[in-house]
Structures are given as structure tokens and as C-alpha cells.
């Protein structure tokens, strides 16, 4: 029951109307018997810093930040976590003295999700498709978790080059290689872990993949698509057709949310509870088994 002691958290972005985050956080609050509610806030771009000040004035415990504000909002924060500073984007704000501190839970959320599927990063050679914000977070994750090589494939070579240069500079890892999508044939002749970090294949445009040639998928032993709707993307189908294992991004969404909830409440969510929330999300999304 909402009363005078209820704490409020929320999501700011544009758009936010179809977000699943309230389901994650309100379910966690119910399971943990926390007097907390989570709501989405649609914020126009000219109002982002006003919204931030208003949230603090209204005593909001914490916020998530989604597109297109993950980098811009950093200017209005009192401090930024070291990892988020490296990545250059925040998605979680934690209330502190005088303002909010920014964190990035996308990267650790992706790592926790992949580890939960038994996917190792250390020592792996990884292909990342894309060079946007999600691909950047994935590239940082791979570098910081000691992948042996990371190949960034993007339509724009210059954008892939810029991300590769940034990751190298901020992590000290030299094995980040930018390539254009059409250069995939120049990948070494072995099998890779592939992370699909573009919006190609996202509902409702579900019948496309950023690369569709079968020759590329013969190089992939495991494919991880950050998209979770549909639950089997064209990318995943192409990986499976060539005998690889494929996963969608619903667990990443879950774990980035769980890590945010842990930061706001200074707790650790039991894995058993994470599984409960995941089953609720799967039912909502009509998701089939991942493998």
C-alpha cells in the first residue's frame, strides 16, 4: 500500500511508454516487502536537467536513464562512478548528498546475464556487431573481462574506429580491432563469440539481421543478441542454422535492473529471486527457452 513512507524510483527517457522496467522493480519491491514504487517519466530533451533537479527536490530515491539521455545527463550529476566514466554513459542514478551519482549497470548486467548462460568472456575472441551505445558497453565489458581479441564490425568504419580507439585508451587493452561489416570475411579462420548490439531485427522489423550471409554465421559458436523482442531474432535463427548456440537479451534487461535496485537499496538480491522475476518477464513477453 502506498503511504507517506513509500519511496519512489523511476525511469526518465523518451520514449518510455513500452518499458518493462516497472515490472522488474515493482516485482522486486513486492518480493522483498519494500515500501517502494517505480514509475516511468516521459521527459522531453529540453527538460532533462529540470527533471533531474525536480526528482531530487521530490526526494526520489533513484532513477534509471534510457535513450537518448545516457550521456547528456552526466553533466547534471554530482559524481559519476569510475566504470560509467570510462564508458561515457550512465543508466542508473543513486541519491547522495547534494544530488545524484551516476552508474552504468548495462555493462555489468550484460556480463552477469552472459555468465548466467555459462558464457565465458575471458580468453574469448569476440565479434561485436554495431558501434552505438550498446556496442560500446559490450566492447568495454569484453576488454575489462580480458577477452583475447575484440572485433568491432559496423556499417561505418569510422564509427567503429572511434569506439575501438576509446576502449583502447581507457582500458589499456590493445586487441580491439575495428572493421566494416563487409569485411567480415577477413576475420581469422576460427570460431567466435558474437554479440549483436544493433537495433536490426528489433520488433516489428523481425525478419532482418545486420549480416545475413551464411558464411559469417559459420564463424560463430555462440551468438548473444541484446534484443529481447522477438524472443528469437533473425540473428539467432542464423546462428542456430549453422549449429551455434544463441541467446536473446532479456536476461541483460533483468540484471541491469537488479543491479540498479541493489544500488538504490544497498542490498544484494538473491539469485533465486532473480529467477522468479525472470519467469514473470518471460511470461509477459511470451519468451521461449533461450537455447
Domains of the chain and any CATH numbers: 7-104+251-285 (3.40.50.10860), 108-248 (3.40.50.720)
What's the rounded Cα separation, in Å, for the pair 16 and 262? Answer: 22
* pLDDT at 285 exceeding the cut of 90: no
Percent pLDDT > 70 in the chain is 99
Look at residue 288 in the predicted model and tell me its pLDDT: 60
Overall average pLDDT of the 13-33 stretch: 96
Look at residue 290 in the predicted model and tell me its pLDDT: 52
Look at residue 282 in the predicted model and tell me its pLDDT: 93
Which of 187, 124, 122 has its CA nearest to residue 152?
187
Reported as a single tens digit per residue, the pLDDT across 128-187 is 999 998 999 999 999 999 999 999 999 999 999 999 999 999 999 999 999 999 999 999
- Residues identified as active-site: 70
Reported as a single tens digit per residue, the pLDDT across 116-129 is 999 999 999 999 99
For residue 188, give the 3-state DSSP assignment: coil
Reported as a single tens digit per residue, the pLDDT across 219-272 is 999 999 999 989 999 999 999 999 999 999 999 999 999 999 999 999 999 999
Say how many C-beta atoms besides its own lie within 10 A of residue 206's C-beta: 15
Amino acid at each position: 500500500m502506498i503511504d507517506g513512507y513509500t519511496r519512489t524510483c523511476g525511469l526518465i527517457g523518451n520514449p518510455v511508454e513500452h518499458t518493462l522496467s516497472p515490472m522488474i522493480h515493482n516485482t522486486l519491491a513486492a518480493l522483498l516487502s519494500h515500501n517502494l514504487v517505480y514509475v516511468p517519466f516521459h521527459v522531453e530533451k529540453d527538460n532533462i536537467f529540470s527533471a533531474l533537479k525536480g526528482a531530487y527536490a521530490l526526494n526520489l530515491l533513484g532513477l534509471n536513464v534510457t535513450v537518448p539521455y545516457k550521456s547528456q545527463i552526466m553533466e547534471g550529476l554530482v559524481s559519476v562512478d569510475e566504470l560509467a566514466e570510462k564508458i561515457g554513459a550512465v543508466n542508473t542514478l543513486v541519491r547522495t548528498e547534494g544530488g545524484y551519482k551516476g552508474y552504468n549497470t548495462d555493462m555489468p548486467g550484460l556480463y552477469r546475464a552472459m555468465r548466467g548462460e555459462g558464457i565465458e568472456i575471458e580468453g574469448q575472441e569476440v565479434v561485436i556487431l554495431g558501434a552505438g551505445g550498446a556496442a560500446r558497453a559490450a566492447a568495454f565489458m569484453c576488454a575489462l573481462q580480458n577477452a583475447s581479441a575484440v572485433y568491432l564490425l559496423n556499417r561505418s568504419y569510422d564509427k567503429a574506429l572511434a569506439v575501438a580507439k576509446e576502449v583502447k585508451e581507457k582500458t589499456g587493452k590493445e586487441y580491439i580491432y575495428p572493421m566494416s561489416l563487409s569485411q567480415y570475411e577477413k576475420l581469422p579462420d576460427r570460431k567466435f563469440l558474437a554479440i549483436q548490439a544493433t537495433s536490426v531485427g528489433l520488433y516489428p522489423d523481425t525478419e532482418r539481421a545486420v549480416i545475413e550471409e551464411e558464411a559469417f554465421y559459420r564463424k560463430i559458436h555462440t551468438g548473444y543478441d541484446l534484443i529481447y523482442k522477438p524472443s528469437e531474432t533473425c540473428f539467432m535463427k542464423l546462428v542456430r542454422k549453422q549449429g551455434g548456440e544463441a541467446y536473446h537479451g532479456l536476461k541483460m534487461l533483468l540484471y541491469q535492473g537488479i543491479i540498479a535496485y541493489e544500488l538504490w537499496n544497498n542490498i544484494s538480491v538473491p539469485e533465486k529471486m532473480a529467477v522468479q522475476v525472470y519467469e514473470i518477464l518471460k511470461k509477459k513477453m511470451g519468451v521461449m527457452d533461450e537455447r
